[in-house]
Structure 1
Amino acid sequence: MPEIPSRRGLLLGTAALGAGAFLTACTSNEPKESSGSTDNQAAAADDKPGKKVTIGFAGPQADHGWLNAINVNARERAKKYSDVTLDITEGSNDTAAQIGQIDTLINKKVDVLVILPADGKSMTQAGLKAMRAGIPVVNLDRVFANPQAYRCWVGGDNYGMGLNAGHYIGELLKDKKDAKVVELSGPDNLELTKQRTQGFDDALKNYPNIKKVARQQAEFTVETGQAKMAQILQAQKSFDAMWNHDDDQGVGALRAIDQAGRDDFVMVGGAGALSAMEAIQADNSVLKATVLYPPTMAASAIDLARALGQGKGVSGLAEHEIPTSLTLYSAVVTKDNVKEYLPTGFK
């Protein structure tokens, strides 16, 4: 098995902690020195109780570890603030049902809405309706088709996720002649899958010695991960590294790898499940890294919604308003830095 590169060896690094950590700093109430030209501290949200804000939260059904972590992060963040009331829906993967839940929150006249739509494009009208009713919307992850449907978007970087996975593997194999890699993707009918694959392929263009020899699409489930990984292993008798788009399906992939008795390659996961981080920490399997798609974005969305409801910006920025978009960084978690990220791992 190739030697695992250090953090310094990565082209893009893994030091960034993402928007969750950024906004924790942004909402702190520690005094900052004024530059003498612009002092926005009076207009910035902080941890001190302020105007009471009711935040409506509408997301899809938590039928996946990552989606459940979204709900957990939202609830836990809201509990941090004595001035925030969180009105959270049950969640649904049925577009019509979720639109109905959003209508209910609009009729309740919540102060701000945080929406992770089951389908961003088909639910754009729900965001527009809220905005036209005077309720600002924080659009979480799956973006609405019309920017007028939200005040702020916060989410992950699918392209960057693939790019960082590709650079990690590229640095690992850069000195190996005729290196081979495989990819276990998510469903190809999802735009996020296409973006993750594109980022991965673009990164590998920097390493002419590496060739992708196989790609299978799974469905973000343990069962499909196991079945598709078994097919790859049967067809490819040897390769050097693989990238798996999702840690949930990665559980199945690892089962197939164990059953085949293979340990001749390095596996890189995706999303940041706790099980993946624990396996990386134990260092007793082919899984050596995972590229984050942080569910902490839901906590950041609550921070932003609270600031919106209180008519404030975020400290650390000169502007008196929150930004219109915030893209989280896809950090690469390895044995070297896994302790930093374990608290964010989802079950």
Structure 2
Amino acid sequence: MSLSRHRARNAAIVVLALVLTGLGATGCGGRVGEGGRVGLVYMDAQGYYAGVRKGMLDSSRKLGEDVQILEINAQGDASKESRFVDTVSSAGVKALVMSPVSTTASIPAAKLAHDSGVKVICYNTCLTDAATRKYVSAWILGDPVKFGELAGAKAAEYFISRHITAPRIGVINCETVEVCRQRRAGFQKALSARLPKARIVANQQGTTIDSAVQVADRVLTAHHGLDAFYGESGGATMGAVKAVRQHGLIGKTVVFGSDMTTDLARELVDNRILKADVDISGRVVGKLAARTTAQVISGGKLGSQVVAAPVELYSTPRQARKWLAAHPDGLP
């Protein structure tokens, strides 16, 4: 190894130590192997990823004795994601568990990990089909089309019960990632199957609550008499709910949403604005990720590259109360 490469490697390990100081490394006892590290990347700060972290840490015994989980929130930034992957790949992680920021911009980071001998496991989001086949060992995924279909079917049921045959709907999206585009496709498919005159009159990005409130406010101003919003993510859904309330449209404009949180469960208990929410439990995904990563590290064969995560519909106050009782810590 050249002197410059040696220095670069040492610098990477120093940076890793700083990362761990800021983010916290978790030492975990287990059953598969001895020692080692696993990198864990969250796409952003939405509550879903806190649930993934909880599930992963609760199941980390599957990963081995004294395993450290090195974690970072990429904050939607592919360059930040790439720097972390470069660092942990140089520091000898066994596997990288990630929800990539972008199907395309995240490819170099996944390729680097793969070429460094690190097993790459996606959850929630992944890469292009070709890159996923080439660089990824497994992908924990709740079917995004089915996810959208559940919300679309429930929306159709709601409108039919109120004799609304041509509902006008605004979408607050997270379509920088493919799974959100697939969620909308499923929503439209199920809705149109029963209500062919239904129209999406606006489709704008608003992933965080604050940005979604602003987007929903503009949509409501531009489209008087809007029947409903569809929020493709938790932040989008909550932002739509808040905007409807701020405009005094309770009982007139409703919301169908995604990704359960404590606040959304409470809105569903109230049931005046939020009528249904589809969820893939972050904790369940985290547990599946830990189990799958252990299998991949130990050389075990998976039945399929895609590991299915359950998709659940919550559409009644009773279901929402049960969710709140089962999640007293608020982690989805």
TM-score under structure 2 normalisation? Answer: 0.75
Please state if 1:327 is matched with 2:308. Answer: yes
8 Å Cα contact 2:206/2:235 also seen in 1: no
1:337 aligns to what SS in structure 2?
helix
AA of the residue aligned to 1:150:
V
Of 79, 84, 107, the match for 1:101: 84
Deviations 1:194-221 (A, max 9, x none): 3222222111221136522522413212
Q: Percent identity?
A: 17
Q: Match for residue 151 of structure 1?
A: 137
Alignment of 1:85-164 (within 5 A): 85-92=67-74, 93-145=76-128, 146=131, 147-164=133-150
Q: Decide whether aligned partners of structure 1 residues 284 and 139 sit closer, same or farther in structure 2, where only a CA change above 3 A counts.
A: closer
1-structure distance, mates of 2:294, 2:57: 13
**Is the 1:272–1:346 Cα contact (8 Å) retained in structure 2?**
no
Change (3 A) 1:108 1:171: same
Q: Which runs of 5+ in 2 are unaligned?
A: 1-28
Q: How far, CA to CA, are the matches of 2:331 and 2:112 in structure 1?
A: 33
Secondary structure of 1:242's partner?
strand
Q: Aligned-pair distance for 1:50? A: 4.2
CA separation of 1:219 and 1:200: change in aligned 2, threshold 3 A: same
The whole-number CA distance in structure 1 between the counterparts of 2:295 and 2:207 is 34
Write the distance in 1 (CA, Å) between the matches of 2:80 and 2:225: 47
Question: Structure 1 residues 189, 321: closer, same or farther in 2, change over 3 A?
Answer: closer
Contact 1:78 1:84 in 2 (8 A): no
2:203 and 2:105 map into 1 onto residues whose CA distance is 28
Partner of 2:278: 291
1:166-185 matches, within 5 Å, as 166-175=152-161, 176-185=163-172
Give the 5 Å matches for 1:71-90.
71-78=53-60, 83=65, 85-90=67-72
Q: Structure 1: state its 5+ residue gaps.
A: 1-46, 313-319
Query: Displacement of 1:71 after TM fit?
Result: 3.1
- What SS class does the counterpart of residue 174 from structure 1 fall into? helix
Q: Matches of 1:195 and 1:329 in 2, distance apart?
A: 16
Are 1:228 and 2:209 matched, yes or no?
no
Structure with the largest fraction of helix:
2
The count of aligned residue pairs is 293
Q: In the TM superposition, what is the alpha-carbon distance from 1:287 to its structure 2 partner?
A: 1.0
Looking at structure 2, the residues matched to 103 and 186 of structure 1 have their Cα atoms a distance apart, in angstroms, of 30
* 1:244 and 2:231 matched: yes
Counterpart secondary structure, 1:232: helix
TM-score, length-scaled by structure 1: 0.72
**Deviation per residue, 1:246-293 (Å, 9 max, x gap):** 222333322222222222243211111221012213x25311211114
